[in-house]
Structure 1
């Protein structure tokens, strides 16, 4: 049945190509290896996907320039846009499986990754996500999703990091939660935060919800303000978070606002307004002011003319994981690559040393807390390292 489907799909794709439509670069030959890059290049979280793809492309470009893999084969990256949409992500994955890809890099978010798991599992193609933090991506109902890997830590750990930061660094005991009901990401971080924070003696004084597409948060924020929290935990994506921060400050809420890696990048600051970003923090995978990251930053700026975000660094490490997996496998066989990824140890990535747990396919990594620091005079502000939290 699988073979019949692939033949039919190939016929459809051939007609599309004749009509002038293409989903990516041409297929690789004997001297190249096809790898799919399925990212959020447009849509509501395009900032994440664009950064992740740029990081992955840089790593692959450098590898190709240094001799490629498997004694001279170059990696041919087939770039595809899932438009930040789960349905489009599933559609593009179905198209990509007929391109003889040995692996998929991306997507970035839990919801778009979940949409492609059935396809990559059916066709036995390993997928490595730079930033999909959902707990059940790699292990679902106690069963390992054997073709799914990630370069990042998970929602539970991020929630724990946020709670420990609130208790140990902010030294607050009364926190309000503002959780998006639009996906698993915000709920997962919120649940983990609540469990660890209350176990540590903290109190959740208010718990409110919103939808990612909401634009007016004033009523919710006023209810939260009435509970007098010492801080507000908002584990959401930057488009909503930026508006929430702006409207919170306009409502006279001056307490710290903090969240997860969805804050990443300059878009949060642009939407909120730099003057509203005092006492704003988030957990991330890497601090760009880390001295050990400066060579990567230099290379990235030279390539793209801009500073990398944490998502760009994760995209770079995702490609590095695949390159290491291919070399260790000594083959383009997808099962051999999967086995190599499953047993990857001590890979020196730009976001830290990566060792994959073969029972969960999750890397063992620390997290950092970043704070927005206002610039002096006309200088632009920036996110700076505040503290590091290691897994317990």
Structure 2
């Protein structure tokens, strides 16, 4: 009898889910009347299929082409999440500047929330008093130290130039992508943690932790778009993989913190970012109780967000110059004229490289490393142009 009732329940469950989803879809369609125009979507999944099935274009290129038909403000629905796509400079200014306080929060995404220790970081934290204080802490105590770390940047660039020179002497090829990733990661790790990963095994481990964490931040989670279907993530393996990535990342951070708290550790000439955060925690110089988890969340932003963006930009610049020999020769001539008899360029000389800076800016325009930025969440209704958001 019990087995029969259980089978009836299993057979009836899809029907009840269908009724609930249909009702939710109808309600959503009614709420979309006041939003900007957008393409027709499918029941339940909305417009998710448009991004997942069309692999011929990058997502931001696909959305831009779609905006040519529906305007700079376009409404989409990803599952049960209504989404506004902004595709013009004027509308972007309205959202990011004029109505910044209305669009300043972040949605809670499963992967980002877990890896940021329940959104305790800067990038994925919702707009609260905590975020205001955390921004103030980072601006005053961390970002203000950029110039103090100039010797680290110049030393790492010098190491890379020496390595490339040695490879050229030996007539060996240079893997630019790998070299730039190593450069940016070495700079980030020395500034953030005071460590340089030269050992092959340790470097491979750090690379793998970084790669897997990035993958989890951009992976699809059912709970992000279908809140009542979060249990599906367990069957797809997403939760298992996410938890494994979190534990590896947490172990990496904890080892760094333990090394910095070791009383026998040699005191460095210049504090790294982790030293600064631990000192603030010890001095209790923060309105909130700054815990180890808060520090780990900030380290996540430093370690993950700061590596690929820098390397990818340089790789795109070099790729663009190689495809345009005339531009390459002009940039080389400008650099060589500035170098003269010095034989090297420091950070102060960069301001005089007008043409090279123009090349970098054009690369930012053509190949942005984060073309869609991080998603934002509205805090209140507002009027942008004519539609109400």
Q: If you compute each CA radius of gyration, which structure gives the higher value, 1 or 2? A: 2
Bigger helix share? 2
Shared fold (TM-score, shorter chain, > 0.5) = no
